[in-house]
Amino acid sequence: MNDAAIGVFDSGMGGLTVMRALMARLPQESFVYLGDTARLPYGTKSGDTVTRYAVQAAAALVKRRIKLLVVACNTASGVALGALEEAFAPLPVIDVIAPGAEAALAASPSGPIAVIATEGTVRAGAYVRAIHARALDVEVMSQPCPLFVPLAEEGLIEGEIVDLVIHRYLDEVLAKEPRALVLGCTHYPALKDSIARIAGKGVALVDSAETTARAVEKRLRDGGLLREGPPAPHRFLVTDTPERFARVGEIFLGRAIAPASVELIDLQ
């Protein structure tokens, strides 16, 4: 299985920020990415629906022979991780919540920590549980930011409209003076520069992508699964609008995506 690909999935393009960090840390590995673009966003849907979608997405990746699954979606990580681990055991499954909690505490060991995320992630309380499992007394505040996902998916990452939306969601949170702000959705790093400017220099922005990449590398190394040969071309699977995915996905991945590498699939 060493030469098999690493599977990565998200509701749309946001998980490409995680894949970007994975590619930088593990340049010898091959990746197959699935964006469920026909059914995004996951963050406004029920836990049962998100779990069903997540299992379908993971199954599509497993069919393409992967050696490890990365759940590059905070909402799916928060509500579907157990179901994924059970359904596809013994396949290693890495989520973004635990690495994000560790990164937040590294940035602000004594808090307070603010988490911005989708409605589903906030409702599930996944970050609060993960942070308190490591540091029970740290204050954690959560704020859903549902419009951040469509802004990022449309490539609207700066400007007056973006600033107005950020102020709408974050002014009350920032008034409580958090020392760390967790970008608790993989779409949010696309807005990172605008969020950082409004949050100010005293607030450390936490993106779980790099921490997740380190966790993946450790799991591969511990399991003797690091790739030995040259990597195969990366592949991309989407459930809708492959042309748009190739065009806008570059914002998240940080490099061009060849339209020929994007395959349209059906998860039904």
- Residues 84, 101: one domain? no
- Residues 56, 77: one domain? yes
- Residues 109, 187: one domain? yes
> Tokens at residue 214, please?
């380190």
**Contact at 8 Å (CB) between 11 and 214?**
no
> Tokens at residue 44, please?
């406004």
CA dihedral (98, 127, 169, 53) in degrees, to 10, reads 80
- Residues 112, 58: one domain? no
Residue whose C-alpha is closest to residue 242's, from 216, 225, 265, 218: 265
pLDDT of residue 181: 97
| 163 vs 166: CA distance, rounded Å | 5
**Contact at 8 Å (CB) between 138 and 132?**
yes
SS3 158: coil
| Cα angle 218, 220, 226; round to 5 | 125
- Residues 90, 24: one domain? yes
Domain edge (last residue) among 186, 208, 230: 208
pLDDT, tens only, 93-138: 999 999 999 999 999 999 999 999 999 889 989 999 999 999 999 9
The catalytic position among 8, 70, 73, 152 is 73
Q: Would you call 145 a catalytic residue per the annotation?
A: no
The catalytic position among 185, 190, 216, 220 is 185
Domain count along the chain:
2
The CATH number of the domain where 239 resides is what?
Answer: 3.40.50.1860
pLDDT of residue 162: 97
As beta bridge partners, residue 238 has 35, 264
- Residues 51, 124: one domain? no
Percent of the chain beyond pLDDT 70? 100
pLDDT of residue 249: 93
- Residues 124, 89: one domain? no
SS3 13: coil
Structural domain including 239 reads 5-95+210-264
- Residues 17, 47: one domain? yes
Q: How confident is the model at residue 212 (pLDDT cuts 50, 70, 90)?
A: very high
- Residues 71, 108: one domain? no
* pLDDT above 80 for 166: yes
